Structure 1
Amino acid sequence: MTEEVNTTGWDAIDQEVTKIYGEQEPKHYGTLIPYTLGGNDPLDGISAYKSDTPVPHWHFVTYGFSELYDKDSEDSEVSGYGFELTFRLARAMDEEEPPAWALNLLQNMGRYVFSSGNIFRSGDYLDANGPICLNSDTKLKALSFIEDPELSAIDTPNGRVEFLQMVGITVDELEAMQTWNTLGVLSACQAYMPQYITDLSRDSLLQVESIAETVQQGMEEEGSNTGYLFVGQLGWEAGKKGWLKKTPDILKLGAKQAGIIGTLLHGRILKGKNLTLVGSDVRVIFEPGDLPSSVVEDGEVRIILDGKTVAELRQLLQPQESKFDFPSLEGTVVQIDKTEIKDNDGNVVEIIG
Structure 2
Amino acid sequence: MSELLPGLVEIYRGWAGRYPDAEPLTVQFAAGDTAGAAIDGVLAYPLERHWLLVTFGLTELGGKTSPQAKVSGAGFEFTCRIPREPESTAPPQWVLRVMHAVADRFLAGADLDLGHWIVTPGPLGGEPANGAMTSLAIVPDVDLRGIDTDNGLVLFFQLVGLTADEGAAAQQAGTVDPLIAVLRDRDPDLVTDPAREPVALD
Q: TM-score, normalised by structure 2?
A: 0.89
Structure 2 counterpart of 1:204, which letter? P
CA distance in 2 between counterparts of 1:139 and 1:201 reads 10
Q: Deviations over 1:243-288 (max 9, x none)?
A: xxxxxxxxxxxxxxxxxxxxxxxxxxxxxxxxxxxxxxxxxxxxxx
Q: 1:201 aligns with which of 184, 195, 198?
A: 195
The corresponding residue for 2:116 is: 124
Q: Deviations over 1:109-139 (max 9, x none)?
A: 12112222x3422111000021003141421
1:23 CA drift (Å)? 4.3
The corresponding residue for 2:43 is: 47
- Structure 1 runs of 4+ aligned residues shifted over 3 Å read none
- Contact 2:23 2:46 (C-alpha < 8 Å) held by counterparts: no
Contiguous gaps of at least 5 residues in structure 1:
207-211, 214-353
Q: TM-score, normalised by structure 1?
A: 0.53
The corresponding residue for 1:169 is: 162
- Contact 1:48 1:61 (C-alpha < 8 Å) held by counterparts: yes
CA distance in 1 between counterparts of 2:141 and 2:135 reads 18
The corresponding residue for 1:111 is: 104
1:201 CA drift (Å)? 1.5
Contiguous gaps of at least 5 residues in structure 2:
none
Q: Tell me if 1:29 matches 2:27.
A: yes
- Contact 2:179 2:199 (C-alpha < 8 Å) held by counterparts: no
Q: Secondary structure at the match of 2:17?
A: helix
Q: Sequence identity of aligned pairs in percent? A: 29
- How well do the aligned residues superpose, as a CA RMSD in angstroms? 1.8
The corresponding residue for 2:178 is: 184
Q: Deviations over 1:157-176 (max 9, x none)?
A: 11111100001101121122
CA distance in 1 between counterparts of 2:59 and 2:176 reads 24
Number of aligned residues = 196
Q: Deviations over 1:295-320 (max 9, x none)?
A: xxxxxxxxxxxxxxxxxxxxxxxxxx
CA distance in 2 between counterparts of 1:162 and 1:119 reads 16
Instruction: With a CA cutoff of 8 Å and minimum separation of 6, indicate the structure with the bigger relative contact order.
Output: 2
CA distance in 1 between counterparts of 2:189 and 2:33 reads 33
